[in-house]
């Protein structure tokens, strides 16, 4: 674990390197960011990441960050929780995106433990932060075994609240300017229908035969034009055991994504 020269709001920042016989992974405690994934002995970063920590102090694209309390958008930045109306930080037009301006991805986590193959990060979000009820404790564990990177996210609140935390990584396996030639497959026949501001309508849309159809491997383009995609794929009706839900390949690299969650946001 390397302490960085830059601090964030008076808190120390660290880069933690995980290694196996096949891969090397760099994690920052700022935003629990997944900064770098590389095959052993190679320099190419398989995920998008800045080479230094300073751009992560703002990180407008949330590259590699853990985002929350609530990933994606909350309509009109308000919701009823236990019959009480709460107003959240509106940072995406009228909506609340990724939990507001002070998302988890812009907070310095404590490093609870680390080794050459894993790191456990912790962050406490106070009651009322960005408008959300309850003090929320969040643990993020990265664990590297061979060519498998596990990301375990757990949270506990002392009050009923909204919580929807996820990783916000982008991938490029070849280093080309675009990934339109990458092949994607998603184990889902439906996506959530959204309006022009990306708020779900409550309906599901069948993707069969549309530009969003990745039920079998397909390039991330539609006749030489990139697919305009920022949609939640409905991979199950509820949480399940860990199972593969998506596959991405480019060049000589193929990634299998497994999850316990019912939805996968593809962007």
pLDDT in tens, 49-73: 999 999 999 999 999 999 999 999 9
**pLDDT at residue number 197:** 93
In this prediction, residues 258-263 reach a mean pLDDT of 97
What is the rounded average pLDDT for all residues in the chain? 96
Q: Spell out the domains of the chain, with CATH numbers in brackets.
A: 1-170 (2.70.98.10), 176-267 (no CATH)
Cα separation values, 145 from 66, 131, 206, 252, Å: 21, 38, 37, 20
Tell the burial category of 204 from Cβ atoms under 10 Å away from its Cβ (0-12, 13-18, 19+).
middle
CA torsion angle for 176, 180, 184, 190 (degrees, to 10)? 150
> Per-residue pLDDT tens for 156-202?
999 999 999 999 999 999 999 989 899 999 999 999 999 999 999 99
With CA atoms as reference, report the closest residue to 65 among 80, 85, 50, 45. Answer: 50
> Per-residue pLDDT tens for 204-227?
999 999 989 999 999 988 656 667
**pLDDT at residue number 224:** 62
pLDDT-derived band at 90, boundaries 50, 70, 90: very high
**pLDDT at residue number 228:** 82
In this prediction, residues 139-147 reach a mean pLDDT of 99
Return the percentage of the chain with pLDDT > 90, whole number.
94
With CA atoms as reference, report the closest residue to 194 among 186, 204, 184. Answer: 204
Distance CA 133, CA 81 (A): 8
**pLDDT at residue number 245:** 98
């Amino acid at each position: 674990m390397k302490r960085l020269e830059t601090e964030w709001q008076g808190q120390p920042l660290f880069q933690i390197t995980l290694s196996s016989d096949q891969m090397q992974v760099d994690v920052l405690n700022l935003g629990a960011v997944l900064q770098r994934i590389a095959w052993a002995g190679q320099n190419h970063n398989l995920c998008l990441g800045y080479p230094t920590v300073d751009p992560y102090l703002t990180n407008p694209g949330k590259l590699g960050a853990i985002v929350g309390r609530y990933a994606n958008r909350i309509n009109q930045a308000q919701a009823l929780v236990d019959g009480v109306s709460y107003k959240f930080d509106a940072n995406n037009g009228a909506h609340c995106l990724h939990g507001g301006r002070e998302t988890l991805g812009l907070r310095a986590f404590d490093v609870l433990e680390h080794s050459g193959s894993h790191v456990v990060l912790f962050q406490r979000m106070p009651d009322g932060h960005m408008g959300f009820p309850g003090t929320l404790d969040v643990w993020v564990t990265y664990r590297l075994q061979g060519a498998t990177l596990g990301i375990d996210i757990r949270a506990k609140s002392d009050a009923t609240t909204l919580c929807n935390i996820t990783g916000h990584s982008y991938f490029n396996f070849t280093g080309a300017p675009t990934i339109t030639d990458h092949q994607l497959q998603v184990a889902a026949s439906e996506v959530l229908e959204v309006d022009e501001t990306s708020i779900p309508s409550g309906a599901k849309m069948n993707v069969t035969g549309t530009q969003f159809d990745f039920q079998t491997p397909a390039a991330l383009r539609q006749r030489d034009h990139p697919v305009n995609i920022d949609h939640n794929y409905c991979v199950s009706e509820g949480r399940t055991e860990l199972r593969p839900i998506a596959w991405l390949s480019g060049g000589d690299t193929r990634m299998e994504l497994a999850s316990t969650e019912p939805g996968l946001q593809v962007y």
